[in-house]
Structure 1
């Protein structure tokens, strides 16, 4: 009976050891990982992302920009190609108003668990920056690179950088359907206050 008990424990431990994922700190710049192995997890080990979660607002006269950010822990990337890994990330949406009138609103993007096609998604990069994977100004038909910087527990700086925009033609259809327009719908640099 004792031998069966010990054998059961050994089997259980070996199964648990092989099922564990490789956990790497998101801020570790020297770590390589396989995006297709299924057992790799790039984790916010120092909880840096936590201070960015919440609702943030910028106002200037009659203009108002509200950014809502949600931290997702151990999100499984698996929707396209060989992707099969886990990563902590921040997703969300924004609402921009002028004179109380909504100019841009991504709050109807209700599927914040997808991997692709999201308008607002950030990761913690290996330089300890919260950097955008996606930040779409859909009114101008273009994406921006965005860096978020914590100034205090109640303020953050959002700085946008224009990306080079590539238009492709697939099966006779231009993607995106509209040409990117100049500038941005809202300011490219803002100090937001936590609500």
Structure 2
């Protein structure tokens, strides 16, 4: 009887704690990191469109990216615990001469202490009103912005912006467009002078594999 009471008390406590996790939409929410134990959820499944293996090819040049979605991952920021749906990934880049400059694809399923240790990581959904003006933008379009780390230049603050676009030969599936952007970075003395992974602000079409 005593064990049963302990079991019921544990179950009630667990359910109570779970019930105290308010769900806030990643897209709609404007109270980010202001609520203890909040769960920032991909309520419209915007991430799902980008999950998979994607590849860009132009002659010898190749960029391959694997993206996955992690649901309700726990984070701690300035002593505040919260939960969040997030995207993470790894990539391979081969330049126009056939030289492999980066290949972290084998790390996609590695268990890491912090999910942000993956070379691609983030959860930023960009709504239409914040998109640059373009003729083919849809009125309800949403894009995904993630950080991407070059293992040879970890001091660079670079992001990729992704959008889905119709496949050229198969109307039932989508490709994605990728644009690499650079935030302000302090480049240290003696920084590597290796060729860059992709070109900044150039649009690349990636096809799902």
Q: TM-score, normalised by structure 2?
A: 0.70
Aligned length: 174
Which position in structure 1 is the counterpart of 2:160? 146
- Conserved? CA contact 2:148–2:160, under 8 Å: yes
Q: State the structure with bigger RCO (CA 8 A, min sep 6), 1 or 2.
A: 1
Which position in structure 2 is the counterpart of 1:184? 196
SS in structure 2 of the partner of residue 90 of structure 1: strand
Deviations 1:96-153 (A, max 9, x none): 1135442211224433561443321021436343111x31122344231221111133
- Conserved? CA contact 1:68–1:94, under 8 Å: yes
**Separation of aligned partners in 2, 1:33 and 1:81:** 10
1:182–1:63 Cα change, 3 Å: closer
Which position in structure 2 is the counterpart of 1:118? 118
Query: Which of 183, 193, 197 does residue 163 from structure 1 map onto?
Result: 183
Q: Which runs of 5+ in 2 are unaligned?
A: 1-7, 128-141, 167-172
Which position in structure 1 is the counterpart of 2:15? 16
The structure with the largest strand share of the pair is 1
Output aligned runs, 1:71-150, within 5 Å. Answer: 71-78=69-76, 81-98=78-95, 99-109=97-107, 110-112=110-112, 114-125=114-125, 127=127, 128-132=142-146, 134-141=147-154, 142-150=156-164
Q: Which runs of 5+ in 1 are unaligned?
A: 1-7, 168-175
**Separation of aligned partners in 1, 2:23 and 2:29:** 14
- Conserved? CA contact 1:73–1:89, under 8 Å: yes
Deviations 1:21-58 (A, max 9, x none): 100111014334436x2x20110111111110000000
1:40–1:57 Cα change, 3 Å: same
